[in-house]
Amino acid sequence: MKTILRLFLALITLASLGMVWGQLARKGAQAIPEGHVVLTLLVGDLERECLVHLPPGYDKTKPVPLVISFHGGGGTGINAMKETGWSAKADAEGFIVAYPEGVRPDAVKPPSLRNNMQTWNDGSGRFYSAEQKIDDVAFIRVLIEKLSVNYAIDQRRIFATGFSNGASMAFRVGAELADRIAAVAPHSGACWSETVKPSRAISLCYLTGTADTLNPLDGGFPKLALGGKDQGGKPKPPVIDSILKWAKTLGCPETPVQDDTKNGVRTRGFGPGRDGAEVVFITIEGLGHNWAGGVGQAPEFMVGKNTDKLKATDVIWNFFQVHGKASSSAIDKEKP
């Protein structure tokens, strides 16, 4: 009986995955959302793209912040826009948001989770992007330079965030592009770098769910929310390891100076470290593999439940506002 039940669940999973893959493929091929433009640029011999949104009333004479939002594995810039609500936040607060696109095996065909998965080379060695040694860090550096030429960007308020594989990319960008990035906010991803040595101390805000089986708090292989076999790849480190690794490189004490829990949201603060930098670690009770308070892009049985306890986009923007004015001679030198 147990064998039959397992087979039944496996068939349901495969059928549902087929529906999700189809949905993501259609999303990747759909029209550009109103108020957004696609920026195309050449990085080495590879053509790369980025979805860009300007706030209403944008004035090219007045520099504004820039938020770079990395989509998750198998997603797209449009997925990231819909899931996170960063464009609506940009409209309300007056900043520019960029949704860069990862790479996929067939650049001619639209992204598809099943047949043409779009990913970031996040330092984990996973996915097509790592196999091909795609230099995504160089892409983001060129992207920042291009956006800074095209638009009025406040060079002291350039931020990076992302979800899942995109969160891991945000970690990597924070470590390797600290001369350009003011603060980072990964959501539900891992810091894969063995050592983290940013050129300057930049603050980090990290969010994840206690019920996230695809980015398990205790580490290990990802699993679907309904259970079953490991989803392959490589085991993830315990989340606290990534947090403490970053805190250590910033010179923050390993013991949090803040540890508060309210309405199922636990917030731990580490620091201050060098140049006033800090690490904020937020866990949300019951949250699965979703952008907290966002619009889910996959069914609940795969990724778990979302939450109404907080909106990650609001929390992250508040964090960026506090940590966006750090002085840095490196940033001054890098101004285009």
* Percent of the chain whose pLDDT exceeds 90: 70
Each residue's pLDDT tens digit, 27-48: 445 689 999 999 999 998 899 9
pLDDT above 80: residue 111:
yes
Q: What CA–CA distance (Å, rounded) separates 167 from 146? A: 23
Question: Rounded CA gap, 84 and 291, in Å?
Answer: 6
Instruction: Give the pLDDT of residue 219.
Output: 94
Whole-number pLDDT of residue 159: 98
- Phi, then psi, of 207 in degrees rounded to 5: -125, 145
Distance CA 287, CA 210 (A): 6
DSSP β-ladder status, 279-284 and 153-163:
unpaired
Question: What is the band of 209 on the pLDDT scale with cuts at 50, 70, 90?
Answer: very high
124 pLDDT band, cuts 50/70/90, is: confident
Predicted confidence at residue 23, as pLDDT, reads 41
Q: Could you tell me which of 140, 134, 110 has the C-alpha nearest to residue 50?
A: 140
Phi and psi at residue 165, in whole multiples of 5°?
-55, -35
Indicate the helix (H) or strand (E) that contains 3. helix 2-29
Q: What's the rounded Cα separation, in Å, for the pair 288 and 202?
A: 28
pLDDT tens digits, 221-231: 988 888 766 65
Instruction: Encode pLDDT of 270-324 as tens digits.
Output: 999 999 999 999 999 999 999 999 998 889 999 999 999 999 999 999 999 999 8
Q: Is 180 a residue whose pLDDT tops 90? A: yes
Range of weakest confidence among 86-90, 125-129, 236-240, 254-258 = 125-129
Domains and CATH numbers, the chain: 2-28+37-334 (3.40.50.1820)
pLDDT at 318: 97
Phi, psi of 231 (to 5 degrees): -90, 15
* More confident position, 177 or 233: 177
Distances (CA, A) of 132 to 120, 126, 127, 135: 11, 10, 9, 9
Who contacts 195 (Cβ-Cβ below 8 Å, separation ≥6)?
Answer: none
Contact 133, 167 (CB under 8 A): no
Predicted local distance difference test score (pLDDT) of residue 193? 82
Rounded Cα distance between 316 and 242, Å, is: 18
What single string gives the DSSP state of each residue in 86-105? HHHHHHHHT-EEEEE--B-S
Contact 130, 124 (CB under 8 A): yes
| Measured CA angle at 114 (ends 110, 120), to 5 deg | 70
